[in-house]
């Protein structure tokens, strides 16, 4: 009897120990699973956090690059493209090339006239109003065309701080904004080179005699009361029996305008039988010099204001 009881106790203890061992094993396994799940969860969270932080870091790097670029390119020059959308011309690209090749710390932004918002131009150091295949003289009988250029006309009238250089159509647009009559030739003249003489040199054109590229049909006559009231006439020409204002600047504002094209063309566009290669090269170089002088005057003006 006693032995039976001992055996039963041994079996019970053994069974209890086995159950305890099994329970311990189960508990240990569950603990390992929980630990693994916790590790996996933490790993996933870490991975997700890294994924979230990666774009942030990348964005920060992009912002740093922008800051670096803005530090390098201190000054912004805007080109207002007055040509119709899709119009084939190398003149806008020519402006961009001349400006981008300058040693000045400038960035260049071209804005089509149809997208112009004068309120968004406050950070520009200078603006260039390009030529066009349109004619300002058409405004007198085409109010729809005039309306399309109203933002640019408002810019010309209201902007007093940012220097502006008008070229050909831009030159005539400046005159029109101030109530100056835009005249019309009997027929247009295309891509010629003429020589003009300045009444006096200034910060933009520093040579008395220069060769310039002209291509226009509209023009401004120097015999106009509004012109004389608002602008100084620095150069005129007697071209094709017309008396034409070639260069003028506003009496009070940093507003300059030229009838000719200082940007000329990329390639040797002019007919070799009409113009000597040296004259063409001289015209191009003098035109580039005018654009560069305008930009340097814009930079000087901005720096002078900062110092004051």
> Is 225 an active-site residue?
no
CA 72/CA 107 separation, integer angstroms:
9
**Residue 250 · residue 233 · CB < 8 Å:** no
Dump the DSSP string for 2-51: HHHHHHHHHHHHHHHHHHHHHHHHHHHHHHHHHHHHHHHHHHHHHHHHHH
> Is 263 an active-site residue?
yes
Sheet containing 231-239: which strands, arranged edge to edge? 106-112, 75-81, 126-129, 164-167, 255-258, 242-250, 231-239, 183-198, 209-219
Q: Is 70 exposed, middle or buried (0-12, 13-18, 19+ CB in 10 A)?
A: exposed
| Catalytic choice (152, 168, 265, 292) | 168
| Catalytic choice (152, 171, 263, 265) | 263
**H/E element, 66:** helix 2-72
**H/E element, 146:** helix 143-148
List C-alpha distances in Å: 168 to 177, 182, 212, 286, 308.
14, 12, 12, 17, 34
Q: Give the distance, in angstroms, between the CA of residue 140 and the centroid of all CA atoms in the same chain.
A: 31
CA 299/CA 14 separation, integer angstroms:
96
Tokens of 297: 């005057």
| Catalytic choice (171, 216, 261, 265) | 261
Q: Is 39 exposed, middle or buried (0-12, 13-18, 19+ CB in 10 A)?
A: exposed
Pairing of strands 164-167, 126-129: parallel
Angle among Cα 261, 282, 80 to the nearest 5 degrees reads: 25
> Is 65 an active-site residue?
no
Active site residues: 168, 261, 263
């Amino acid at each position: 009897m006693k032995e039976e009881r001992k055996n039963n106790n041994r079996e019970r203890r053994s069974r209890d120990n086995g159950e305890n061992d099994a329970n311990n094993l189960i508990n240990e396994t569950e603990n390992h699973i929980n630990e693994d799940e916790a590790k996996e969860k933490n790993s996933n969270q870490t991975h997700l956090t890294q994924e979230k932080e990666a774009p942030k870091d990348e964005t920060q790097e992009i912002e740093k690059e922008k800051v670096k670029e803005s530090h390098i390119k201190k000054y912004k020059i805007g080109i207002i493209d007055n040509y119709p959308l899709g119009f084939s011309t190398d003149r806008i690209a020519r402006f961009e090339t001349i400006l981008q090749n300058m040693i000045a710390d400038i960035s260049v932004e071209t804005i089509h006239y149809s997208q112009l918002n004068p309120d968004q131009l406050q950070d520009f150091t200078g603006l260039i109003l390009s030529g066009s295949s349109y004619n300002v003289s058409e405004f007198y009988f085409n109010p729809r065309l005039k309306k399309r250029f109203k933002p640019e006309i408002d810019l010309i009238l209201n902007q007093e701080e940012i220097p502006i250089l008008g070229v050909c159509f831009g030159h005539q647009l400046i005159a029109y904004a101030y109530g100056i009559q835009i005249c019309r030739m009997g027929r247009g003249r295309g891509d010629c080179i003429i020589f003009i003489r300045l009444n006096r040199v200034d910060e933009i054109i520093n040579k008395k005699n220069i060769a310039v590229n002209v291509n226009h049909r509209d023009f401004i006559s120097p015999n106009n009361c509004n012109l004389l009231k608002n602008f100084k006439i620095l150069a005129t020409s007697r071209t094709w029996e017309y008396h034409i204002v070639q260069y003028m600047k506003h009496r009070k504002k940093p507003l300059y305008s030229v009838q000719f094209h200082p940007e000329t063309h990329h390639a040797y566009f002019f007919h070799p039988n009409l113009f000597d290669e040296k004259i063409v090269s001289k015209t191009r170089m003098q035109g580039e010099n005018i654009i560069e002088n305008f930009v340097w005057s814009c930079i000087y003006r901005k720096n002078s204001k900062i110092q004051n």
